[in-house]
Structure 1
Amino acid sequence: MSCLLSFDGILYIINYYTVILYYIIILYYINLIFLYITLYYINTILILNHIILYYIIIILYCIVLSCYVILYYYIILYIILLYTILCYVVLLLLFYYIMLFLYYIVLYYMYYIMFYIYIYYFEKQLTILLIYISNT
């Protein structure tokens, strides 16, 4: 779990899902080629009446489509992962700016309080000095 929270763990997950996206792109082009071949053979099958070959092509095409359903699930997971990382970065930035804002507020009030403490003690010292001067 600590590996997933580290930056290396996030990069590992991004690389893993990027490989899956490359696999999806390759499968998409294979599917286009397969669709072209299917349409070509459907025309010849309708002419030749080879029903068994027609069913084999339909079954292979359904297998490719089922692979797509699984891979679209991985695409959704990839989007959720990127959204989670984006939210994580935004929350870190938000936390950073909130802490910076609180730091400046505390700094401002600290100087404000120190200024009044300094004025109070300076006034007290000045009063003691004036009393001393007036007594002499």
Structure 2
Amino acid sequence: SYKMGDGFMTFTEEGEAGTSQDTRRVAVMHSRNATSNRVEIGQVEGVFEGLIAAIASGTPDARYHSLRALSQISFRNAPNKRQFGQTPNAMHSLSLCIEQTRAGGDKKCLAEACRALSLMVSGDRENQQLLMQHTEVVQSLEQILADKE
């Protein structure tokens, strides 16, 4: 699960029968100007995996805040962009999120998913190539562009 509040992100991985297996608290600053915070957060072990997991299987609120956090820590930070792109299941989770939010009409979360994806590929040739290899993401984006609303 993923929770945000009091300036911290809390990631909890559930063990068997709902027991908490691992919990990490990561300090967060939601300022695009907080460059050092973005660098430090990106270096925390498991931060990208936790955010991607929340995007894939979290509540709509957790998904939204995870996407915002990904956007914030990837903004103007090439190492974080690269790590975001190389996180296992990142593209698949973003594609699934885009499809679910599009089908459910959650335009706010859909916009955040597209924003996170655009920040990941902006100015990063490797992530651009990675995106093109994931046809499900490209197809999801094409469907969004074809929507009449």
Tell me which interval the TM-score lies in, with the shorter structure as reference length: under 0.3
Per the normalisation by structure 1, the TM-score is 0.25
TM-score normalised by the chain length of structure 2: 0.23
Structure with more of its chain in strand, by fraction: 2
Choose between structure 1 and 2: higher helix proportion.
1
Q: From the CA coordinates, give the structure whose radius of gyration is larger.
A: 1
